[in-house]
Amino acid sequence: MNPSVDALRRVFGPRIGRALVSCGDTIVYVDAGRVAEALRWLKETPGQQYNYLVDVTAVEYRDPERPLEVVYELFSLDRRAALRVKAELSKDRLEIDSLVPLWAGANWLEREVYDMFGITFRGHPDLRRILMWETYAEGHPLRKDFPLRGRFSRAEQVRQALGANPEAHYSMDELSIAETYHELPEDMRERLARGERGVIPEPGRERGRE
């Protein structure tokens, strides 16, 4: 077991949950509300120096009772030590503090987790979908309740793809650069004004479901 776990326990006490070793990797669970603080401590404390954020991702288990986990893979370039920090989030409250103030590299990684799992990162400067398009309305693909072929029927997916305006792929922010918003067609303006990401429908209520 990585000695950083005991050091974390001394500083954060009961905020540090269980710790285990799996396949030689040390995993430590941290209270979701304190995870940014704990990671800052791990990054900046001499003797810990986990200065390299390898990866941010999330895991949803097949057991629907288990909470979602946000996974932070840390590495210390100076000490050559690795540590995996996890935070559990209950499915009715998928929110956690953003790490962008600590590591700029967390920006896109957290956007991807938001896109794929629907976890909101508080304090993230630019939390938009990244791999899926901004008006994608079928939900978050890596969630276990998301079917492999998507929520909508194939016919509905084709209909939406054919109906999409290929010129409409600018965000309001980008259009403000050229101040061309008022020159756009009426329906495109209406769509942009409704919100960049469109409206994510409630499960079971979306159109075109078979």
Q: Give the binding range for another protein (CB under 8 A) out of 9-17, 78-86, 155-163, 198-206.
A: 78-86
N-to-C CA span, the chain: 50
Q: Cβ closer to another protein: 55 or 187? A: 55
Q: Cβ closer to another protein: 35 or 99? A: 99
DSSP secondary structure string, 61-119? -SSTTSPEEEEEEEEETTTTEEEEEEEEE-TT--EEE--TTT-TTHHHHHHHHHHHH--
Give SS3 for 193: helix
Q: Does 192 bind another protein (CB under 8 A)?
A: no
Contacts (CB under 8 A) with another protein, residues 20-59: 22-25, 27, 51-55, 57, 59
State the helix-helix crossing angle for 35-44 and 4-12, rounded to 10 degrees: 120
Residues 6+ apart with CB under 8 A from 122: 95, 96, 97, 98
CB of 149 to another protein, least distance (A): 10
Among 30, 35, 73, 127, binds another protein (CB under 8 A): 73
Classify strands 81-89 and 68-76 as parallel, antiparallel or unpaired.
Answer: antiparallel
Q: Does 116 bind another protein (CB under 8 A)?
A: yes
Among 1, 95, 180, 193, binds another protein (CB under 8 A): 180
Binding site for another protein (CB under 8 A): 22-25, 27, 51-55, 57, 59-63, 71, 73, 77, 80, 82, 84, 103-109, 112, 116, 129-133, 141-142, 146, 148, 169-170, 173-175, 177-180
